[in-house]
Each structure stands twice: as structure tokens, then as C-alpha cells.
Amino acid sequence: MTHVHTFIRDFSDASAICGAYIINDIQLCKTRAGNQYLRATLRDAFGTIGMVFWDYDGELTSADNGAIVDVVGTVGTYRDALQLCVEQLAPADLCTWDAEDLAALVPSAPIDVSAYCAYVANLVRSIASPDLREICDYLLTTYWDHFCVIPAGKSVHHAFLHGLLMHTVDMAVVAETIAANNKGTVNRDLLIAGVLLHDIGKVIEFETSPLTGLVTGYSKHGNLMGHSVLGALQIAQAAEDVGTDPELSMLLQHMLLSHHGDPASGAAKVPLTIEAEILHDLDMLDSRKQIYAENLLHVQPHEYSPYIPALERRIYHHGLTESRSNEPRFSEQNVFDGTDESAEQSGGEEDDLDVFFDTPPYDEDWGSEYVDPPDYPDDPYVPCDVADDMTYQCDPYMMYY
């Protein structure tokens, strides 16, 4: 690392700050007296903080969301939360940066990415229904590079690299238990397919920074349609392309259109099947669990957090549990044994997902490839071409998702 960096998690009231951070949620505002000021969010790999720059006359606009800026300022307190009052702000000169400098700024999921990818591929292969398996295979093969890398959100939950992958797998683990304990009532194939694809529309919905890979905003399709509708359309097109049962396609589309629960939360329909209901509950559970987890990192034991809009409450740190471990939850040995049962049943034809084990997810446009395991848990993936926000300011329809 060539630059000294003070992590946001180490900020304290009245401390002087001089460093580089990712800026997002840029808003140019005016005081009652008509003076312009800049309000935004600063972020690094281990925290976020709101910032304000009074009497701002610079050139930053919302088009600069996701940029890295050099900041000089003083930490203060506003509405029971730390806030940085900025005195100097300028785009960072990245010519002297190395990969370690960038890694200090870009948050990444605390998972073994390779093992999580293997778990997803194994789940697809385990789907007994040829129609549902082909739809999952088709869409995950098409969007694999982005599915494995993008965050699950802009700011509310899993807003870090590989966040969508982590969110999906964590839901799937619980879904497997529910399906196993409710045989005859819950269709396991339909539930797993719905979990795997419930946020697939986010690969189209999000706009991401080419520098960091983090979400900086929403595409036109994202703003006008949302990821639930986009995902349902993707499933409809996939079903038509591979020639699957229209009834199963419709059931799967219904799960995506209803997984936000009710229209007030952005759902096109309320869940009308048991699998759709379970998907909604799992999505709510995992997203809210992650909001708790991320906020508790900044709360001392036996103290309360500031108000969290996404949860509509303050939360209490009881001190009885430790923060999430950096140890990988899965190992490749316990998620995939090299046997493709579905291929054997279909005469031994090779599944398109075989490529997932031979070549790690890779986006040539980023000009960088993954670090081989076991470095994932300690060394987050960062696009190295150059060698969001815990305030939960978001669309109400994206509140938990």
C-alpha cells in the first residue's frame, strides 16, 4: 500500500481526517439563505459515513457517484451519528495507486467466493425438474460474470462485491432445510429455482462503477421497471428460448413478481403459492439479518445504534455474540463432490455449468481476474485497472431489497 488510510470504522468525534474515500449519493443542496452545500456519503472497505461540505463551489455532481476523492475534514456528530464536515475535496490522483490501495476502499463479501460459486452450480444440477433446471442454467450461464460479482443492493444490505452471490446462497441454505422438512407441501425444485433467480433482474437494474464494481445508481430499465419485473421477463424469455413448460415458467415468474410481499413494498402481486410465500419470507429474513449484522459492527456491547430507517428502529447490541467470522462458511469439498447426478440421469451429457469449475467468473471488460482461493476471505476481489451507504437513503420500493 502506497497511501496511508484511516478506515472509517476508526473515526471518532472531533478527529481530523485526511485521506481518500469512495463518494456516493452526491446531492447539491441550498441553505435557507441560498448558499450551496454538498451532501454525500463516503465509503471504504469497512464503513460508511455521511459528509457535508458547506459553501461548496466545486464541480462534483451526481454523475461522479462512485469516484474516489481526497478529503480533508473533521468528524462531528449529527442526529446521534458521526458525520464528516469536509473542508477540502478533490478527485484523487490514481496514477500512483496500487491494488492494495484500492482494496482498502472496496468492501467485499466475507465469504469464500469460489466455494459459493460451486454451491450455486451444485444447486442447479440438483434440480430434478428438467424445465426448471434448464431455465436456471440458461440465465445463470448468461449472467454468471455479473451474478457472482455485483452487490445485492446500493446501500441497504449486501452492498459490497459478491453481495448478490452471498445473499442468494445464504437464502438457499435455509430453503433446503424448509423444503426437506415439508416434503409433500413444498416443491423443492420450484423453491430452489425461485431463490436462485429471485434477484437476477439486478444484473440489468443496477449501474455499477467501472472502477470499484459497486452500485452507483439504477439504469433506465431499473428505474422504470425494477428488478422483480425485469427478472420475470428474463424468465419468460429463457423459457421460450429453451422450450420449457409454460405453467412452470408462470409459477416461477409469479415468485419473482411477488417476492417483495405486497404492493407497498414494490411487489406486483402478493404471494399466492407456498413457494412464493417462503421466498418472500427468506428474502426479508436474510436482508434484515444483514442490516443488523452490518450495523452491529459499529455499536458497542450494551449500547443502542442510531436510528436505522431500513429497520424503522434503533437496535441493541447485547454483547452475547461475536461479529461474523472471516472463515469461509463452505469449502469446495463439502459443496461439490464432482458427481453430476442430473447428467448421469440424462445420459451423461455435459452441463453448461461445468465451465464454472474450470474457469472462475471473469469479466474481460474489467481487465482483471480473481485471486485464487484461499485468498478470498482476506483479500477482497478488486478490479485493478488503475495499476453506499449505511445511511440507507434509497427508493422506498428498494427498502429491504
For residues 85 and 60, membership in a common domain is answered with: yes
Same domain as 230, residue 97:
no
Domain endpoint, select from 103, 133, 162: 103
Give tens-digit pLDDT for 26-78: 999 999 999 999 999 998 888 889 999 999 998 898 888 889 999 999 999 98
Report the pLDDT averaged over residues 310-322: 86
Q: What are the residues facing 141 on neighbouring strands? A: none
Name the band, by pLDDT with cuts 50, 70 and 90, for residue 129: very high
70 CB-side CA count, 13 A? 9
pLDDT value of residue 315: 92
Contact 83, 44 (CB under 8 A): no
Output the CA angle 296-207-145, nearest 5 degrees: 85
Same domain, yes or no: 240 and 95: no
- What's the average model confidence in pLDDT over 336-363? 42
**Cell numbers linked to 303:** 449500547
Q: Which of 29-38, 294-303, 329-338 has the lowest mean pLDDT?
A: 329-338
End position of a domain, from candidates 84, 103, 122: 103
Residues 42 and 171 in one domain: no
Contacts of 364 (CB under 8 A, 6+ apart): none
Helix, strand and coil in the chain, % to nearest 5: 40, 15, 45
CATH number at residue 43: 2.40.50.140
Task: With beta carbons less than 8 A apart as the criterion, state whether 375 and 359 touch.
Answer: no
Co-location of 358 and 313 in the same domain: yes
Tell me the C-alpha distance between 370 and 308, whole Å.
Answer: 34
- Taking 90 as the threshold, does the pLDDT of residue 236 lie above it? yes
What pLDDT digit, counting tens, does each position of 1-10 carry? 556 678 898 8
Domain assignment present for 1: no
User: What mean pLDDT, rounded, does the chain reach?
Assistant: 81
Percent of the chain whose pLDDT exceeds 90: 56
Is 82 a domain residue? yes
67 and 183: one domain? no
Q: Give SS3 for 264.
A: helix
Q: Is pLDDT above 50 for 333?
A: no
Per-residue pLDDT averaged across 163-191, rounded? 96
**For residue 398, with 0-12 CB atoms within 10 Å meaning exposed, 13-18 middle and 19 or more buried, which class applies?**
buried
Last residue within a domain, chosen from 63, 85, 103: 103
Domain annotation covers residue 319 = yes
Note the pLDDT of residue 103: 81
Same-domain pairing of 66 and 122: no
Which range has the worst mean pLDDT, 32-46, 227-241, 271-285, 384-398?
A: 384-398
pTM: 0.74
Alpha-carbon distance of 39 to 30, in angstroms, equals 10
Cell 409454460: give the residue: 246
> Has residue 108 been placed in a domain?
no
Residues 304 and 387 grouped into a single domain: yes
Per-residue DSSP letter, 365:
G
Answer whether residue 3 is part of any domain. Answer: no
Whether 162 and 107 have beta carbons less than 8 Å apart is answered as no
Report if residue 270 sits inside a domain: yes
Find the farthest-apart pair of alpha carbons in the chain and give their distance in angstroms, rounded. Answer: 75
Mean of the pLDDT values across residues 14-19?
91
Whether residues 150 and 285 share a domain: the answer is yes
Question: Could you list the residue range(s) of the whole structural domain that residue 51 is in?
Answer: 8-103
Under the banding of pLDDT at 50, 70 and 90, the label for residue 322 is low
Model confidence band, residue 93 (pLDDT cutoffs 50, 70, 90): confident
- 123 and 54 share one domain: no
SS3 87: strand
> Is 113's pLDDT higher than 70?
yes
Do 215 and 331 belong together in one domain? Answer: yes
pLDDT tens digits for 239-280? 999 999 999 999 999 999 999 888 888 888 999 999 999 999
**Site of grid cell 421460450:** 240
Domain membership flag for residue 76 = yes
Non-local CB neighbours of 217 within 8 Å, separated by 6+ positions: 62, 65, 154, 206, 207
Give the Cα separation of 284 and 281 in Å (integer). Answer: 5
Q: Is the pLDDT of residue 319 over 50?
A: yes
Alpha carbon distance 349, 18 (integer Å): 58
pLDDT score of 327 = 52
Say which residue, 94 or 42, is predicted with more confidence.
42
Number of domains comprising the chain:
2
**Cβ neighbour number for residue 16 with a 10 Å cutoff:** 10
Backbone region of residue 94 per phi and psi (left: phi > 0; alpha: psi in -120 to 50; beta: other values): alpha
Q: Please tell me the predicted confidence (pLDDT) of residue 363.
A: 35
Residue 232 lies in a domain: yes
Q: Examine the domain organization and report whether 250 and 292 are in the same domain.
A: yes
